[in-house]
C-alpha cells in the first residue's frame, strides 16, 4: 500500500494547490490547463469497477463488482460505472473509450507526463470491452446491472447488492449501435497502443474487426432488443432506422432493397475508425458505398454517445484535407456546415449559447455536449491548420484560429470564467460543486465507515445538505442551465451528476491548451 499512500499524498498536495490558487481571472495559464488535464484523467479512477490496482489514486474507492458475469459463466469484471450509479452500460462506456483514444491520437503529444495515465484510463476500459466482445461467438455483452433496481438504491459500489444481471446482443437479438461503437472504441485504442504495446494493439484491432462484422451482419437497435434494460437510460434514439436519405437513395432502393435502410451512424463511425486503424481497403469501400446516407438534412448538430454523425464527418474530412481525395470532399462540406452552425456571426449559425457564452443543447447533462463540441472544434482546427484550410460558411470563411478561440471560451467557462465564478470541474479552483450526484462520493467510504450501508440507509446521504465526504477529483458535472444558473444540489441530477463521457473529450481539449503559451 506504500504506492497508494504516495499517490494519495501527491493528490492532497495538488488539491491544496488548486484550492489556494485564484483561477477566476479571464486568463488561464498553460500550467492551469495542465493541472486540469491531470485531474480530468484522475476522475476515471473514481469510476472504476473491479479489483483496484496498488497505484489507485482515488483512495477512498475500494474493490467492487468482483463477481460480475460469474452467474452467467463469463468474466465481466472491470470497466467503468458510467456516472453516479453502479451500472456498467456498454454504449456510453464504449463511446467514452473512443473519445479518450481520439484525445490521445490527436493531442497525446501535448500530454507530457500524463500520457501514461491517459493510456491507463483507456486500457481499464478496453480490457473489459475485450472480454465482453470475445467471450462468446456472435455475442457482445453490453451491460452489467439491473438499472431499474440500481436506481432504487443509494449505495456505494463496494456494498451494492442489487441484481448484477448481464445483458447481451446476439444474432437473434441484435444491437448494431452498441456493437459498432464497441468496434470503434477497440479500433481507436489499437492506434493508441500501436507503438507502446504492439501485441495488445493487434489484439484490439482483431477484436474490433470481428465486432464490426457482427454489427453489420445482424442489423438492429439494441434498444429494441433489450428495451427497459437500456431505456430510458441509454436508448439509441439516433440508431438503426428505416429512412430514405435522398431521391437517389430511393431510386437505388428499388433495385437493391438493402439500400432502403439507412446505415446507422455507429456503423459508419465504426467503419471510419477501422479504416483509420487498419488501412484496409474494405472499410474504405464500405464508407464509399454507404456514406451517402449520412446527409446533413436531418442532422441536429449534436455529437454525443448517441449521435456520431458530426464526429464521423470530421474524422473522414481529414482524408480529403490530407490527400484531396475527391470522394471525401462531401465530408469536408458537411464538417464545414457543422462547424459554421456553431460560430456566432456565421450565415449558418444555429447554436444556442447562454448569456455567459456557454454552448447550450439540453437541460440534462448539458456539459457533455459542450466538451464533445469543443473537442471537435479543436480537432477540425488541427486538420484545417495543417493544410492551410478554412471552413466555408456561405460566402465567408472561418479560420482555424477562430475555432480555437471559440473552443477556449468553452473550456474557460467550465474551469471558472463564467457568471457564477464557479469551476464545474470538482477539485479545480476555490469554488466548485460540493453536492455531486454520485453514490460513491456522497456516502462515507469503506475506510471511514467499514460496516455495510444498505440500499435504503444510503438515502440519508442523498438527501443530506452536507458536502460529499469523498471528493471525486476531476469530475465534470452536468452544468448550469440556459441562464447560467447552477443548483449545487445532489438531488438535481440534471446539473450535478458527472459522467465518463463528459470528461473523455475534455481530456483532449485540456491537452491542447496545456501546450499553448
Q: Output the pLDDT for position 298.
A: 53
Residues 148 and 85: beta-carbon distance below 8 Å: no
- 3-state DSSP call for residue 232? coil
Cell of 364: 440534462
What is the rounded distance in angstroms from the CA atom of residue 57 to the CA atom of residue 46? 9
Name the nearest CA neighbour of 454 among 93, 159, 57: 159
Among this protein's residues, is 497 annotated catalytic? yes
- 3-state DSSP call for residue 505? helix
- 3-state DSSP call for residue 423? coil
pLDDT along the chain (517 residues), means of 10: 47 47 62 98 98 98 98 97 98 98 98 97 98 96 97 97 97 96 98 98 98 96 93 77 31 33 78 96 91 60 91 92 77 93 91 97 96 98 91 93 97 98 97 98 97 97 98 98 98 98 98 90
Catalytic residue among 218, 275, 334, 437: 437
- 3-state DSSP call for residue 388? coil
The full 3-state SS of 284-301, as one line of letters, equals: HHHHHHHHHHCCCCCCCC
Structural domain count, the chain? 1
pLDDT (tens digit, 9 = 90+) per residue, 40-76?
Answer: 999 999 999 999 999 999 999 999 999 999 999 999 9
What is the rounded distance in angstroms from the CA atom of residue 61 to the CA atom of residue 161? 17
Catalytic residue among 213, 224, 488, 489: 488
Tell me whether strands 391-393 and 396-398 are parallel, antiparallel or unpaired.
antiparallel
Return the CATH number at 31. 1.50.10.10
Among this protein's residues, is 488 annotated catalytic? yes
Mean pLDDT, all residues of the chain: 89
> Domain range holding 496?
2-514
Among this protein's residues, is 275 annotated catalytic? no
Alpha-carbon torsion (469, 425, 47, 361), positive or negative = positive
Residues 88 and 110: beta-carbon distance below 8 Å: no
pLDDT (tens digit, 9 = 90+) per residue, 411-463?
Answer: 999 999 999 999 999 999 999 999 999 999 999 999 999 999 999 999 999 99
Amino acid at each position: 500500500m506504500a504506492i497508494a499512500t504516495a499517490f494519495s499524498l501527491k493528490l492532497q498536495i495538488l488539491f491544496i494547490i488548486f484550492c489556494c490558487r485564484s483561477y477566476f481571472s479571464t486568463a488561464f495559464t498553460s500550467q492551469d490547463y495542465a493541472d486540469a488535464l491531470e485531474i480530468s484523467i484522475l476522475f476515471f479512477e473514481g469510476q472504476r469497477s473491479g479489483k483496484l490496482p496498488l497505484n489507485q489514486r482515488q483512495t477512498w474507492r475500494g474493490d467492487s463488482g468482483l463477481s460480475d458475469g460469474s452467474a452467467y459463466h463469463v468474466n465481466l469484471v472491470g470497466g467503468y460505472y458510467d456516472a453516479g450509479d453502479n451500472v456498467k452500460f456498454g454504449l456510453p462506456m464504449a463511446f467514452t473509450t473512443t473519445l479518450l483514444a481520439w484525445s490521445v491520437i490527436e493531442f497525446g503529444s501535448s500530454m507530457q507526463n500524463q500520457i501514461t495515465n491517459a493510456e491507463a484510463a483507456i486500457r481499464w476500459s478496453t480490457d473489459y470491452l475485450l472480454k465482453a466482445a470475445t467471450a462468446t461467438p456472435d455475442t457482445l455483452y453490453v451491460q452489467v446491472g439491473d438499472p431499474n433496481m440500481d436506481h432504487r438504491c443509494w449505495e456505494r459500489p463496494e456494498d451494492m447488492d442489487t441484481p448484477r444481471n448481464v445483458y447481451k446482443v446476439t444474432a437473434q437479438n441484435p444491437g448494431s449501435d452498441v456493437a459498432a461503437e464497441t468496434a470503434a472504441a477497440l479500433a481507436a485504442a489499437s492506434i493508441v497502443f500501436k507503438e507502446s504495446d504492439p501485441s495488445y494493439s493487434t489484439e484490439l484491432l482483431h477484436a474490433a474487426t470481428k465486432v464490426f462484422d457482427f454489427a453489420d451482419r445482424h442489423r438492429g437497435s439494441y434498444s429494441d432488443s433489450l428495451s427497459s434494460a437500456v431505456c430510458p437510460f441509454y436508448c439509441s434514439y439516433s440508431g438503426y432506422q428505416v429512412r430514405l436519405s435522398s431521391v437517389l437513395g430511393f431510386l437505388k432502393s428499388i433495385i437493391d432493397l438493402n439500400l432502403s435502410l439507412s446505415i446507422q451512424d455507429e456503423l459508419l463511425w465504426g467503419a471510419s475508425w477501422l479504416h483509420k486503424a487498419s488501412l484496409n481497403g474494405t472499410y474504405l469501400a464500405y464508407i464509399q458505398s454507404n456514406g451517402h446516407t449520412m446527409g446533413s438534412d436531418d442532422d441536429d448538430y449534436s455529437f454525443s454517445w448517441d449521435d456520431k454523425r458530426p464526429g464521423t464527418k470530421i474524422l473522414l474530412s481529414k482524408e480529403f484535407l490530407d490527400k484531396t481525395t475527391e470522394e471525401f470532399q462531401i465530408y469536408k462540406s458537411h464538417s464545414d456546415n457543422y462547424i459554421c452552425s456553431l460560430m456566432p456571426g456565421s450565415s449558418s449559425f444555429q447554436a444556442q449559447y447562454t448569456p455567459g457564452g456557454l454552448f447550450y443543447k439540453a437541460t440534462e447533462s448539458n456539459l457533455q455536449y459542450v466538451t464533445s463540441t469543443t473537442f471537435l472544434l479543436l480537432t477540425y482546427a488541427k486538420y484545417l491548420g495543417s493544410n492551410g484550410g478554412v471552413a466555408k460558411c456561405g460566402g465567408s470563411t472561418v479560420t482555424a484560429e477562430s475555432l480555437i478561440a471559440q473552443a477556449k471560451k468553452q473550456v474557460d467557462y467550465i474551469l471558472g470564467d463564467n457568471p457564477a465564478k464557479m469551476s464545474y470541474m470538482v477539485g479545480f479552483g476555490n469554488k466548485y460543486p460540493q453536492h455531486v450526484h454520485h453514490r460513491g462520493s456522497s456516502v462515507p467510504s469503506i475506510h471511514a465507515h467499514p460496516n455495510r450501508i444498505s440500499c435504503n440507509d444510503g438515502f440519508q446521504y442523498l438527501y443530506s445538505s452536507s458536502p460529499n465526504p469523498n471528493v471525486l477529483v476531476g469530475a465534470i458535472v452536468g452544468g448550469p442551465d440556459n441562464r447560467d444558473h447552477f443548483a449545487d444540489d445532489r438531488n438535481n441530477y440534471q446539473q450535478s451528476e458527472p459522467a465518463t463521457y463528459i470528461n473523455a473529450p475534455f481530456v483532449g481539449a485540456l491537452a491542447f491548451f496545456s501546450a499553448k503559451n
